[in-house]
């Protein structure tokens, strides 16, 4: 029979942390990268060998998309099966100086593996990118208007509905050469 924890002892967060991590399909390494907490520390917390500081608990809660209180309670809750992110909650990278806006559609815990964006380009706007890590690929689908993609020494024009797939481990630029705004879905796959 398990005895109740002493009233002044710190909460045991290990089982809750592990349950939340696994429910999101994250490895210790994934959570370590997202939260900025060492894999070794995460393992110790999950095995109840260490209790996290408030700062670490805050980082873990943010990385898992839960409130700090949820990590500090052993109460088992159903994992949210559908999470809606409203438009005003979607992070946006404004590039007004270059005529683009990138809405980050993918969850932050997948950044560095898979990323997807809604790209809007004003007439004459462009998104110029330095080479990404070796083996990185991008997939660009034009939703409205037309675009030009330049990757390395190659240029291609894309009409509405077309998709370009290209190596993004070289300098590349997406341009709107049209006279009206263009929109596209941009997926980045890191290897």
User: What pLDDT does residue 125 have?
Assistant: 96
Q: Give ranges for CATH 2.60.120.10 in the chain.
A: 87-189
User: What pLDDT does residue 80 have?
Assistant: 62
What value does the mean pLDDT take over residues 50-73?
85
**31 vs 109: CA distance, rounded Å:** 8
What is the tally of helices (H) and strands (E) in the chain?
A: 5, 10
| Segment 96-141, tens digit of pLDDT | 889 999 998 988 777 778 899 999 999 999 999 999 999 999 999 9
Q: Nearest to residue 143, comparing CAs of 123, 124, 163?
A: 163
Q: Give ranges for CATH 1.10.260.40 in the chain.
A: 14-71
CATH number of 14-71: 1.10.260.40
Looking at the domain covering 87-189, what would its CATH class be? Answer: mainly beta
Q: Is 97 exposed, middle or buried (0-12, 13-18, 19+ CB in 10 A)?
A: exposed
User: What pLDDT does residue 77 have?
Assistant: 52
Q: Nearest to residue 118, comparing CAs of 108, 106, 129, 104?
A: 104
Residues with Cβ within 8 Å of residue 50, at least 6 apart in sequence: 41, 44
N-terminal to C-terminal alpha carbon distance within the chain? 48
Evaluate if residue 162 carries a pLDDT over 90. Answer: yes
User: What pLDDT does residue 109 have?
Assistant: 72
What value does the mean pLDDT take over residues 57-82?
76
Evaluate if residue 40 carries a pLDDT over 60. Answer: yes
């Amino acid at each position: 029979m398990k005895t109740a924890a002493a009233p002044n002892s710190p909460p045991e967060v290990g089982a809750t942390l592990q349950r939340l991590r696994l429910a999101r399909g994250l490895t210790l390494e994934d959570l370590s990268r997202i939260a900025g907490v060492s894999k070794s520390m995460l393992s110790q917390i999950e095995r109840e060998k260490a209790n996290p500081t408030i700062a670490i608990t805050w980082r873990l809660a943010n990385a898992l998309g839960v409130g700090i209180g949820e990590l500090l309670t052993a109460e088992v809750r159903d994992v949210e099966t559908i999470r809606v992110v409203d438009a005003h909650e979607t992070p946006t990278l404004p590039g007004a100086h270059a005529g683009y806006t990138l809405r980050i559609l993918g969850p932050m815990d997948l950044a560095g593996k898979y990323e997807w964006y809604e790209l809007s380009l004003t007439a004459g706007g462009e998104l110029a990118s330095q080479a990404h890590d070796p083996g990185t690929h991008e997939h660009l689908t034009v939703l409205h208007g037309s675009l030009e993609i330049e990757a390395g020494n190659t240029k291609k024009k894309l009409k509405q509905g077309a998709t370009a797939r290209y190596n993004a481990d070289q300098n590349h630029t997406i341009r709107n050469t049209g006279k009206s705004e263009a929109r596209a879905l941009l997926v980045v796959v890191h290897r």
